């Protein structure tokens, strides 16, 4: 893929900032022109957070247009569903971490939280490819973002965005004291 | 990887992936800006974060979080008339607060030059409106630059600072949300550290007058208009106002078409033109006020049809049409339809405008199929442990039937959402006391309660409070005091213990407020009783509902200990599924199982215990995290 739109989403506090930081730098390392943008709503925590990443030569604006994401990367199941519905292009890929953060309407019993098969069905309707990620025994749930990066590297949906490139960016971005554990998670998730 | 604070002050040129807000800081440093002030507000807080990430002893400028945007502007102005290049920045609506001072800047000789940086918010991503601050430059005779990308933010700040210094004036730099937050690779120049000259250069006898009053205004305004004329002439020649031909324009083309635009919509147009291959010219304005009339006239004369694409109001359009009329230009000038007066002009929406204007050139693309599915909304909410939540929970239970609640700006605005519904009307920062006062007038049936945050109290809340004291207006003001400016990212404020450390209680006492109670938000019964009692008292009264911001507290604790020591747990034997904790107290840490059972989300719960008083069956227990099984 020479041009690509990547849309990342999750819940505030899950570590989308680090995920997007690593990804955009990795794309740059892989030799692409990049443009990106992090957005968050009113809440400091618990609201929807999104990040846009666009690569290619003719990119002038930072936001991925609705329905034109080649890849949707979600840190949470409900946000994977929302991200796919709003942003995924037909035939695109969705990678999400299978964890759940209930919004108010679910907590109060007014609405149902989507099941894994709800997400599958939605993505199928868009002829998309779905990859659910869940790693046993993560040392810290804040490493779910690194697990997603691992799966992305393994799939190499974007040419050149492979485990070696992402690993080297992780090394330069992550603080020393958490680096080793994160690299372990990354290796496990990427099978490399 | 090089750290941002080091890169920002690195002397050698460098290139790196940065957001617009950070590119701006490098530009300030390269330009030798000596004084920078602000009051926090989205989309600009990252500018301050980048500046303060540089250790104070290495920071090549004076920086302060002022008490509000007006004071921030005045501080920067004062420094600038003393000869020190200065800048002030704030969010869109911050200019409403600052404008009483800022509209005077155009009349003044500003020796050191002053750049006023605005973070406008088309699309209302995080503001209470999407006001178009381009109107203000017309009101104040201050030129305006409008960068569209992080690269342009860097270059145009340098331009703006140079212009401001050379012509001794104020210059606006207008950013918008997705210019501030966009990230791309930017190439920076060299930074040559200089010994700042802090000697006071202010000289009212030479460069004055500085007192604009009655007839003295006329010569000052004449000077402002003269200066604008000179800037316009520069704009006519400047490469920041450029004619672009993304696909070339072949000589054999029948009708010649063009678009005039500025800011991010100009980039959307570039993308659309590249995608479609259409041979249109784009006049992209970087110095958009005063409009470069010569350049625009020339552009109009060279084309048969010109479309004007600007975000929000029809500001350029009105002036360009006037210009065309006065000059008997025969080019057809098209505008957007009214639906595009609101919201951002993203590349998809800009494409819609192009299609509406020239359907024969811009043919509709096959859209993606629509998939019907209902997705649960995720509304913004307060963090686990938030003192605001505990206070809303207690206050809601204590309020008499029919009471009217007035919201203000801050994290506690989210109390106005479900399920608390505390706060039914809101205008802007600090307005809740004034509104509460008015709602109480002649009103014998419904009690009135207004909320205000601690940062907001100092920012714009004090006049409303003083007024309430003077007339003894009959309402209860609840100060939601978390000791920090939380919503915009935890900036210290005048009341913060590590900031100004000005006591709110002492301040209110000194102002003559007779009834003041300070209570910790977690003390549900005490707070509830205090509200009930206060509402019995006639006249103005205040409750200070205190609890430190728990997001900040939990972040610090986790950094130190690796995790929060406590964790809430539910005693299944005692729980009778009253759902008070999950639906009424509504802490997001509670999880509802498919069988209707309630459990606690380990990742969300911070073990603060604020939920405990909510359970009617005392089923909530605070345990040690280490001892409670996963
Ligand atoms: C005039 C103006 N300036 C800045 C803002 C941005 N703003 C939104 S919320 C907020 C925080 C207010 O802090 P505080 O009153 O302490 O409430 P908290 O968020 O801490 O609950 C600010 C500054 C605004 N909306 N309007």
pLDDT digits (tens, 9 = 90+) for B576-629: 999 999 999 999 999 999 999 999 999 999 999 999 999 999 999 999 998 886
Q: How far apart are CA A99 and CA A115, in angstroms?
A: 11
Q: In terms of residue numbers, what domain contains B334?
A: 241-357
Please state the φ and ψ torsions of residue B256, each to the nearest 5 degrees.
Answer: -100, 125
Say if the Cβ atoms of B592 and A109 lie within 8 Å: yes
Q: How far apart are CA B170 and CA B76, in angstroms?
A: 10
| Same domain, yes or no: B217 and B256 | no
Cα of B41 from ligand 1 centre, angstroms: 7
The answer, yes or no, to whether residue B498 has pLDDT greater than 90, is yes
Is ipTM beyond 0.90?
yes
Spell out the domains of chain A, with CATH numbers in brackets. 4-190 (3.40.920.10)
The pLDDT score that the predictor gives to residue A69 is 98
Q: Express each pLDDT in B433-487 by its tens digit.
A: 999 999 999 999 999 999 999 999 999 999 999 999 999 999 999 999 999 999 9
Say if the Cβ atoms of B378 and A63 lie within 8 Å: no
The pLDDT score that the predictor gives to residue A40 is 80
Please check whether residue B366 touches A, CB under 8 A: no
Say if the Cβ atoms of A45 and B383 lie within 8 Å: yes
The pLDDT score that the predictor gives to residue B2 is 80
The pLDDT score that the predictor gives to residue B251 is 84
CA gyration radius, chain A: 16
Q: Are B384 and B367 in contact (CB under 8 A)?
A: no
Instruction: Tell me the two tokens of residue A106.
Output: 């679910």
- Pair type for strands B305-309 and B257-262: parallel
| Same domain, yes or no: B49 and B94 | yes
DSSP letter, residue B328 = T
**H or E, element range at B159:** helix B150-166
Q: Where are the alpha helices (DSSP H) in B15-55?
A: 20-31, 45-53
Q: For residue B474, give Cα distances in angstroms to A3, B449, B529.
A: 63, 9, 19
* CATH assignment at residue B614: 3.30.70.20
The answer, yes or no, to whether residue B140 has pLDDT greater than 90, is yes
The pLDDT score that the predictor gives to residue B369 is 85
| Same domain, yes or no: B548 and B589 | no
Q: Are B465 and B508 in contact (CB under 8 A)?
A: yes
Q: For residue B16, give Cα distances in angstroms to A34, B7, B9, B187.
A: 11, 9, 13, 7
Q: Is the CB of B546 under 6 A from ligand 1?
A: no
> Where does a domain end: B201, B222, B237?
B237
Strand partners, B172: B116, B144
Q: Is the CB of B91 under 6 A from ligand 1?
A: yes
Residue B369 has a CB neighbour count (10 Å cut-off) of 10
Pocket probe mutation, ligand 1, options B43, B48, B88, B453, max atoms within 8 Å of Cβ? B453
Please check whether residue B592 touches A, CB under 8 A: yes
| Same domain, yes or no: B317 and B393 | no
The answer, yes or no, to whether residue B1 has pLDDT greater than 80, is no
In a domain, B255, yes or no: yes
* Residues of B whose CB is below 8 A from A126: 368-369, 371
Q: Which of B270, B367, B591 sits opposite A60 (nearest CB)?
A: B270
| Same domain, yes or no: B141 and B201 | yes
Q: Where are the alpha helices (DSSP H) in B277-378?
A: 293-302, 315-326, 347-357
> From the CA of B367, how many Å to the nearest CA of chain A?
8
In a domain, B268, yes or no: yes
Name the 3-class secondary structure at B566: strand
| Same domain, yes or no: B69 and B156 | yes
Q: How far apart are CA B593 and CA B597, in angstroms?
A: 5
Q: Which of B17, B419, B603 sits opposite A24 (nearest CB)?
A: B17
**Quick one: pLDDT band at residue B630, thresholds 50, 70, 90?**
low
Closest residue to atom 8 of ligand 1, CA basis: B410
Instruction: Tell me the two tokens of residue B161.
Output: 């600072």
**H or E, element range at B481:** strand B476-481
**Quick one: pLDDT band at residue B364, thresholds 50, 70, 90?**
confident
Instruction: Tell me the two tokens of residue B610.
Output: 């604020």
| Same domain, yes or no: B269 and B205 | no
Q: For residue B586, give Cα distances in angstroms to A106, B383, B526, B629.
A: 11, 10, 20, 24
Comparison of pLDDT for B404 and A138, the residue scoring more:
B404
Q: Is the CB of B412 under 6 A from ligand 1?
A: yes
> From the CA of A155, how many Å to the nearest CA of chain B?
25
In a domain, B341, yes or no: yes
The pLDDT score that the predictor gives to residue A1 is 60
> From the CA of B368, how many Å to the nearest CA of chain A?
6
Please give the model's pTM, rounded to 2 decimal places.
0.98
> Where does a domain end: B357, B378, B396?
B357
The answer, yes or no, to whether residue B276 has pLDDT greater than 80, is yes
> Where does a domain end: B178, B212, B237?
B237
Contacts by residues B532-539 (CB-CB < 8 Å, ≥ 24 positions apart)? B532/B398, B534/B476, B535/B399, B535/B400, B535/B403, B535/B447, B535/B449, B535/B476, B538/B474, B539/B472, B539/B473, B539/B474, B539/B514, B539/B515
> From the CA of A181, how many Å to the nearest CA of chain B?
14
| Same domain, yes or no: B136 and B40 | yes
Mean pLDDT of chain B: 97
Pocket probe mutation, ligand 1, options B89, B94, B409, max atoms within 8 Å of Cβ? B409
DSSP letter, residue B304 = S
| Same domain, yes or no: B333 and B198 | no
Please check whether residue B408 touches A, CB under 8 A: no
In a domain, B413, yes or no: yes
Which residues, other chains included, contact B546 with Cβ-Cβ below 8 Å and sequence gap of 6+?
B387, B481, B482, B483, B518, B519, B520, B521
| Same domain, yes or no: B79 and B151 | yes
């Amino acid at each position: 893929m020479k041009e690509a739109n990547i849309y990342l989403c999750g819940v505030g506090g899950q570590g989308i900032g680090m995920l997007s930081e690593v990804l955009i730098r990795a794309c740059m390392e892989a030799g692409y022109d990049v443009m990106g943008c992090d957005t968050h709503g009113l809440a400091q925590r618990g609201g929807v957070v999104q990040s846009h990443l666009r690569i290619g030569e003719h990119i002038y604006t930072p936001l991925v247009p609705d329905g034109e994401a080649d890849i949707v990367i979600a840190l949470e199941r409900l946000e994977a569903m929302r991200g796919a519905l709003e942003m995924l292009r037909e035939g695109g890929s969705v990678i999400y971490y299978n964890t759940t953060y209930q919004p108010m309407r679910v907590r109060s019993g007014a609405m149902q939280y989507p099941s894994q098969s709800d997400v599958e069905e939605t993505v199928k309707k868009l002829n998309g490819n779905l990859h659910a990620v869940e790693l046993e025994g993560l040392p810290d749930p804040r490493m779910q973002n690194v697990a997603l990066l691992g799966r992305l590297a393994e799939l190499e949906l974007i040419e050149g965005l492979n485990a070696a490139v992402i690993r080297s960016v992780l090394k330069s971005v992550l603080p020393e004291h958490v680096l080793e554990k994160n690299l372990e998670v990354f290796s496990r998730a990427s099978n490399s | 990887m090089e750290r941002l604070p080091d890169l920002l002050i690195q002397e050698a040129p460098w290139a790196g992936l940065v957001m617009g807000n950070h590119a701006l800081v490098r530009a300030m440093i390269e330009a030798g800006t000596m004084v920078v002030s602000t009051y926090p507000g989205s989309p600009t807080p990252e500018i301050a974060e980048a500046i303060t990430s540089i250790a104070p002893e290495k920071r090549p400028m004076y920086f302060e979080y002022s008490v509000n945007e007006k004071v921030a502007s005045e501080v920067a102005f004062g420094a600038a008339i003393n000869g020190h290049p200065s800048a002030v920045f704030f969010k869109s609506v911050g200019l409403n607060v600052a404008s009483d001072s800022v509209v005077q800047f155009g009349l003044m000789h500003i020796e050191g030059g002053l750049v006023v940086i605005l973070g406008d918010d088309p699309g209302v991503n995080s503001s209470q409106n999407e006001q178009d601050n381009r109107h203000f430059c017309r009101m104040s005779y201050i030129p305006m630059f409008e960068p569209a990308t992080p690269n342009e933010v860097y270059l145009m700040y340098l331009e703006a600072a140079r212009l401001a210094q050379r012509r001794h004036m104020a210059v606006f730099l207008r950013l918008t949300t997705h210019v501030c937050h966009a990230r791309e690779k930017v190439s920076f120049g060299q930074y040559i550290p200089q010994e700042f000259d802090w000697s006071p250069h202010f000289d009212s006898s030479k460069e004055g007058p500085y007192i604009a009053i009655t007839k003295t205004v006329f010569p000052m305004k004449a000077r402002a208009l003269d200066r604008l004329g000179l800037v316009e002439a520069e704009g006519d020649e400047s490469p920041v106002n450029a004619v672009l031909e993304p696909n070339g324009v072949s000589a054999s083309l029948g009708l010649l078409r063009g678009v005039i635009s500025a800011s991010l919509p100009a980039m959307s147009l570039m993308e659309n033109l590249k995608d479609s291959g259409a041979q249109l010219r784009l006049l992209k304005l970087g110095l958009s006020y005063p409009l470069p009339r010569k350049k625009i006239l020339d552009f109009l004369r060279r084309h048969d049809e010109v479309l004007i694409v600007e975000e929000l109001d029809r500001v350029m359009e009105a002036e360009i049409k006037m210009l065309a009329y006065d000059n008997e230009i025969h080019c057809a000038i098209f505008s957007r339809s009214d639906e595009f007066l609101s919201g951002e002009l993203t590349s998809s929406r800009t494409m819609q405008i192009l299609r509406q204007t020239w359907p024969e050139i811009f043919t509709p693309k096959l859209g993606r199929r629509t998939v019907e599915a209902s997705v649960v909304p995720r509304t913004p909410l307060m963090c686990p442990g938030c003192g605001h939540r505990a206070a809303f929970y207690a206050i809601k239970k204590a309020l008499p039937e029919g009471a009217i609640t007035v919201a203000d700006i801050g994290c506690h605005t989210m109390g106005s959402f479900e399920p608390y519904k505390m706060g039914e009307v809101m205008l802007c920062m600090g307005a809740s006391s004034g509104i509460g006062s008015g709602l109480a007038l002649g009103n014998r049936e419904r009690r009135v309660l207004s909320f205000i945050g601690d940062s907001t109290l100092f920012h714009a809340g004090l006049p409303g409070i003083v007024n309430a004291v003077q007339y003894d207006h009959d309402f209860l003001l609840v100060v939601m005091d978390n000791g920090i400016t939380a919503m915009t990212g935890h900036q210290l404020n005048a009341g913060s213990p590590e900031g100004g450390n000005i006591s709110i209680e002492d301040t209110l006492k000194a102002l003559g407020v007779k009834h003041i109670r300070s209570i910790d938000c977690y003390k549900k019964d005490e707070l509830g009783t205090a509200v009930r009692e206060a509402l019995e008292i006639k006249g103005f009264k205040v409750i200070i509902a205190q609890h430190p911001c728990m997001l900040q507290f939990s972040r610090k604790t986790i950094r130190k200990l690796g995790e929060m020591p406590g964790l809430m747990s539910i005693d299944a034997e005692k729980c009778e599924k009253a759902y008070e904790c999950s639906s009424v107290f509504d802490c997001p840490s509670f999880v509802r199982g498919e069988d209707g059972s309630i459990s606690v989300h380990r990742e969300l719960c911070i073990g603060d215990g604020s939920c405990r008083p909510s359970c009617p069956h005392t089923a909530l227990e605070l345990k040690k995290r280490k001892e409670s099984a996963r």
